[in-house]
Amino acid sequence: MSAPPSERPGDQSDPILERLLDLHPKKIDLSLGRVERLLKDLGAPQDHLPPVIHVAGTNGKGSSIAFMRAILEAAGKTAHVYTSPHLVRFHERVRLGHPGGGRLVSDEELAATLSLCEKINAGAPITFFEVTTAAAFVLFSRHPADYLLLEVGLGGRVDATNVIARPAASLITPVSMDHPEFLGNTVAEIAHEKAGILKRGVPAVLGFQQPEARTVLEAEAANVGAPLHIAGQDFFVREEHGRLIYEDEGGLIDLPLPRLAGRHQHQNAAGAIATLRLVAPDLPPSAFEIGLATAEWPARLQRLSKGNLVALAPAGAEIWLDGAHNEDGARVLSQAMADREEKAPRPLIVVTGTLATKDTAAFLRAFKGLAQEVLAVPVHGEHAARTPNDIAALANIAGLPAVACESVESALRFLTARKWALPPRVLIAGSLYLAGEVLRLNGTPPQ
């Protein structure tokens, strides 16, 4: 999924990224023809990549990749990583694998490669995501690594990343409703688009799916001849005595609970483990243990413990940040908050900003009976953002008291002006764009 580049004074890549935004009249126009043309003119860098693990799905793609990267690096392997959108700075999308841990692409490397792609493209129509994906492939082809963890941008079948002829494996994380304007109005239609990454003879892992999605994914896999490994059938995961137990035909692994918070991360971790056990069966058990304990993925139930925004919140408040923005994401997020409420009760305040392209009412309904109040904020810089008044009205309809605020800062000050018997638990969620804004304002951007 594409996102406009952030402003960062001094970055050579910023003006190039701005120009690339203007090469196509649409932000999203799903097709493979334009990117295939550019890649051919660039010398087909997609044919010179390390083994690719291609990841599609609605929720959990980034977290699953974070687990795989941490596990591979714990085993001494190197992994390139391509994800989108970024939260604060475009460079987050391209991580180059190196011994001892990877690094975000440098601005000099990025600017030079974007300039090359801009020159070779010669002004032809191409979307921002397509041309920047081509640039990422050029960068990955120039640096050796053991694996490339490649996240689909949107859908799968005609996503710009789906030019890899034969990945080492495919992973499809849970599929649910999102982007109906591009992918379809039912879970089945969306699953059909996600299944487009499946390739003949390439092993594929299906994460935990709702029945409607699983039926379509299994049928599409059979059509193309992709051998499946299915969650709940070929591999299993459960929590037991404060540990995570993973099991497949290769045996059982007793692991620590994932560092990434929330029970949904148990399932994401299981999909990541299943995929790696197919691709790299020689990984030692210690790599899985270290990987789960060290994996990081910003704005996915991230606890903010310090920073500019934290200083504005009530003393002792818990501040959580998550990029969830659809109904299924809200469901797992509310479950995570309910789990925390059971262990350590506190009043839950949801600070949210959303886009008009999302089902905000469905998102908010997930918190009915759990959240004490909703504080609605704008998503600055996004023309498709709902106004705080609109969000507050939708929250009221969902049965949640709500207040419209001018900004995240004003929402936190609003809470600080109150007296609390117990410091509140504040959840900021509703949009990845909002999450990026929060990390920037807080002074804690992803590294």
User: Is 365 found in the same domain as 270?
Assistant: no
Residue 339 phi, psi (nearest 5): -65, -40
Domain housing 171: 13-294
Please report the pLDDT score of residue 212 as a whole number: 96
Please report the pLDDT score of residue 1 as a whole number: 40
* Total domains, the chain: 2
User: Is 319 found in the same domain as 373?
Assistant: yes
- Distances in Å between the Cα of 73 and the Cα atoms of 1, 98, 173, 209, 266 are 26, 9, 22, 28, 20
Contact present, 132 and 93 (Cβ < 8 Å): yes
- Determine, yes or no, domain membership for 5: no
**Helix/strand/coil percent split, the chain, to 5:** 40, 15, 45
Q: What is the pLDDT along the chain (447 residues), one digit of tens a residue?
A: 434 434 344 589 999 999 999 999 888 888 899 999 999 999 999 999 999 999 999 999 999 999 999 999 999 999 999 999 999 999 999 999 999 889 999 999 999 999 999 999 999 999 999 999 999 999 999 999 999 999 999 999 999 999 999 999 999 999 998 887 888 889 999 999 999 999 999 999 999 999 999 999 999 999 999 999 999 999 999 999 999 999 999 999 999 999 999 999 999 999 999 999 999 999 999 999 999 999 999 999 999 999 999 999 999 999 999 998 888 889 999 999 999 999 999 999 999 999 998 899 999 999 999 999 999 999 998 888 999 999 999 999 999 999 999 999 999 999 999 999 999 999 999 999 999 999 999 999 887
CATH number, position 32: 3.40.1190.10
Contact present, 354 and 385 (Cβ < 8 Å): yes
Please report the pLDDT score of residue 219 as a whole number: 98
Contact present, 177 and 189 (Cβ < 8 Å): no
CATH number, position 404: 3.90.190.20
User: Is 307 found in the same domain as 244?
Assistant: no
- Determine, yes or no, domain membership for 3: no
Output b/e per residue, 71-83; b: 16+ Cβ within 10 A: bbbbbebbbbbbb
Please report the pLDDT score of residue 285 as a whole number: 94
**Both tokens of residue 443?**
């002074």
User: Is 289 found in the same domain as 171?
Assistant: yes
Measured over all CA atoms, what is the biggest interatomic distance in the chain, rounded to whole angstroms? 65
DSSP 234: T
- Determine, yes or no, domain membership for 233: yes
Write the CB contacts of 323 (distance below 8 Å, at least 6 apart in sequence). 87, 299, 300, 329, 429, 431, 432, 434, 435
User: Is 136 found in the same domain as 200?
Assistant: yes
